């Protein structure tokens, strides 16, 4: 009886050991399979492809003719565990759509009061070097911009569902996308090679010609303040001419022209008849000044490109108008830029040269470019 009892305990012990060994083996097999799963999936998927250029406005009537260029940024690709619903009403929108695998697809959605569209090119966007690939973009409706200077910064992560693996192939850029009225569409022309996408063993296509795409959109908090810097050219009246009469009677050191306005700013020309600084007693000095009553912000700068001239008043092939360029950032009212030695006094006073005729001097400035900065809020 005792021997039979001992044998029973021994058999139970052996069965218990076998159970533990079997569970451990399954755990090891599962761990090994999981570790190899991602590399195997990536071998069947696409490799990262560089993207070039800059985006353009979305033409709703002819999407196929859009030229979308993107900057050279780091593009990351990965596989994400299958999850059908990922939605946050303030930050993210995630869409899973079923499409017929034939032509361009545009799906509208809204996030943070911005109307956006998920754009799918099942055969690749040829206008953006996407031939032979799946192309994915997100476009924003420019009518949602309240003002011309408004910009929307967004993170985009695109998804392609793999039904066989129950996960998503994902692609995203490491930099945020900058939407404005000039750039309303961003994305990737080369998401997946068509050969990889259409291979049934990869699981992207199922039930004949169906597939699932998604996009995760994260809108960043807009800037509270912004600046719009522009440079204006081709002014209606770019020249101002100052006729200085009875020049020989001018005994002062410095003289200023009347105020004139070009490019939305007020200016003066300053002339020193006997020269200033290094030109004193040797040359005529002349400068362009931003008028002292102009109001600009303490840190604001105004870029100016112009030509300063002493006009030749006689038609002479030998002696011509003297012209010197200005290419300068003006930093405050009353400040200017010019030349201490614009023209030597000996040449200037020579009556044969035609710069001083009947005791009259003619000086001129022609504006070629003037910058302006708008601040929001003003």
Residue with tokens 């693996």: 165
Asked if 236 and 213 sit in the same domain, the reply is no
Residue 5 lies in a domain: no
Is the pLDDT at 17 greater than 60? The verdict is: no
Nearest Cα to Cα of residue 152 among 142, 160, 161: 142
Q: What is the total residue count of the chain?
A: 378
User: Could you report how far apart the first and last alpha carbons of the chain are, in Å?
Assistant: 101
Asked if 184 and 293 sit in the same domain, the reply is no
Q: Which residue has the higher pLDDT, 180 or 102?
A: 180
d(CA 273, CA 252): 8
Asked if 163 and 191 sit in the same domain, the reply is yes
Is the pLDDT at 216 greater than 90? The verdict is: no
Evaluate the CA torsion angle 94, 98, 102, 107 in order and state its sign: negative
Asked if 218 and 232 sit in the same domain, the reply is no
- For residue 154, give Cα distances in angstroms to 91, 183, 320: 10, 13, 58
3 state SS of 40: helix
Q: Are 105 and 113 in contact (CB under 8 A)?
A: no
Q: Are 53 and 169 in contact (CB under 8 A)?
A: no
Residue 87 lies in a domain: yes
For residue 59, the model assigns a pLDDT of 36
Domain final residue pick, 175, 191, 223: 223
Asked if 218 and 235 sit in the same domain, the reply is no
Residue 217 lies in a domain: yes
Q: For the chain, what is the domain count?
A: 2
Is the pLDDT at 288 greater than 50? The verdict is: yes
Strands (E), 29-132: 75-81, 97-100, 105-111, 114-121
Q: Which domain holds residue 292?
A: 228-376
For residue 13, the model assigns a pLDDT of 47
Asked if 80 and 210 sit in the same domain, the reply is yes
pTM above 0.75, yes or no: no
Residue 48 lies in a domain: yes
Asked if 337 and 212 sit in the same domain, the reply is no
Tokens for 218, please give them. Answer: 């994260």
Nearest Cα to Cα of residue 269 among 298, 310, 312: 310
d(CA 55, CA 182): 8
Is the pLDDT at 40 greater than 90? The verdict is: no
Residue 217 banded pLDDT, cuts 50, 70, 90: confident
Give per-residue pLDDT as tens, 44-67.
Answer: 333 323 222 232 222 333 333 333
Mean pLDDT within 31-52? 32
CATH number for the domain including 141? 2.60.210.10
């Amino acid at each position: 009886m005792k021997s039979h009892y001992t044998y029973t305990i021994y058999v139970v012990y052996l069965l218990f050991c076998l159970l533990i060994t079997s569970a451990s083996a399954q755990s090891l097999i599962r761990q090994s399979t999981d570790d190899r799963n991602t590399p195997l999936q990536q071998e069947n998927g696409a490799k990262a492809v560089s993207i070039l250029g800059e985006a353009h406005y979305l033409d709703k009537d002819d999407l196929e003719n859009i030229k979308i260029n993107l900057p050279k940024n780091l593009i990351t690709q990965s596989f994400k565990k299958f999850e059908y619903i990922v939605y946050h009403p303030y930050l993210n929108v995630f869409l899973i759509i079923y499409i017929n695998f034939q032509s361009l697809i545009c799906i509208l959605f809204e996030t943070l009061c911005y109307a956006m569209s998920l754009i799918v090119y099942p055969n690749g966007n040829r206008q953006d070097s996407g031939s032979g690939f799946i192309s994915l973009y997100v476009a924003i409706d420019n009518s949602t911009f309240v003002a011309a200077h408004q910009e929307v910064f967004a993170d985009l992560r695109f998804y392609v569902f793999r039904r066989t693996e129950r996960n998503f192939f994902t692609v995203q850029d490491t930099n945020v996308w900058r939407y404005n009225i000039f750039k309303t569409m961003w994305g990737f022309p080369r998401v997946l090679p068509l050969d990889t996408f259409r291979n049934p063993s990869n699981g992207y296509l199922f039930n004949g010609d169906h597939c699932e795409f998604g996009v995760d959109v994260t809108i960043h908090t807009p800037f509270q303040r912004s600046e719009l810097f522009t440079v204006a050219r081709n002014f209606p009246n770019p020249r101002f001419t100052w006729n200085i009469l009875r020049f020989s009677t001018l005994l002062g050191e410095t003289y200023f022209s009347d105020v004139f306005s070009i490019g939305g700013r007020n200016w003066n020309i300053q002339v020193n008849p006997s020269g200033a600084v290094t030109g004193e007693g040797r040359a005529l000095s002349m400068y362009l000044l931003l008028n002292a009553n102009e109001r600009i912000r303490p840190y604001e700068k105004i870029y100016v490109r112009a030509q300063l001239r002493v006009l030749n008043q006689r038609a002479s092939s030998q002696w011509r108008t003297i012209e010197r360029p200005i290419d300068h950032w003006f930093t405050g009212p009353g400040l200017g830029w010019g030349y201490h030695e614009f023209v030597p006094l000996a040449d200037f006073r020579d009556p044969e040269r035609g710069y001083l005729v009947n005791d009259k001097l003619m000086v001129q400035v022609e504006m070629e470019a003037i910058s302006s900065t708008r601040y929001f809020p003003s």
